[in-house]
Amino acid sequence: MKIEVRIIEAKDLKVTDYFAGTSDPYIKLSINGQMHKTNVVYRTCDPKFNQSFTFDIIPGQQITFEVFSFDESGRHDPLGTVQHSLSYFYQGQVSDLWLQLSKKGQIHIQVFSPGGLPNVLSAEQLNSLHLGINQKQMTTQSPLIGYKYFGYTPSFNELM
């Protein structure tokens, strides 16, 4: 299933440049090894990002947001982290959230999952167990064969 995560803004972030009273924040997003990063917004503790990222997920996974302050001279300063479960997002709906960071500040995000049929397993995730190869479970028989030989009317997509 695909979701789109939009990082809108952050507010009240921790100051890392005490001389200027600001930070140079950016956000790393990760879900089960898939990682994206926003652009750095310089000299502010209330950045506006307005960036969107797409992830392939299985419902119930956690998304992790790590906020850093960019530092040209060395290690980037951590400003806070937050994790959020993706089990309550519905297809075709936008979830608008403010998430509290572990240190100081909040981030404003929107999560959107396009409508339609869920695509839980993508082709790269399928293996022989999913496909039933070498287990004699695959059949290529047409459903009309039962009609031809046994005399019953075929029915497709009927609700019980």
pTM over 0.95: no
Name beta bridge partners: 34: 31
The mean pLDDT value of the chain amounts to: 81
Q: Which amino acid is at 140?
A: T
Rounded to whole angstroms, how far apart are CA atoms 80 and 72?
A: 19
N-to-C CA span, the chain: 27
DSSP 121-132: S-GGG--HHHHT
> What pLDDT tens digit does each residue of the chain (160 aa) get?
889 999 999 999 999 998 989 999 999 999 999 999 999 999 999 999 999 999 998 888 999 999 999 998 888 999 999 999 987 666 778 899 999 999 999 999 999 987 644 444 455 555 555 555 555 555 545 555 444 444 555 555 545 4
> Whose CA is closest to 105, among 44, 17, 42?
44
Tens digit of pLDDT for each residue in 103-137?
Answer: 999 999 999 987 644 444 455 555 555 555 555 55
Q: Which one of 2.60.40.150, 2.60.40.1930, 1.10.3720.10, 3.30.930.10 gives the CATH number of domain 2-112? A: 2.60.40.150
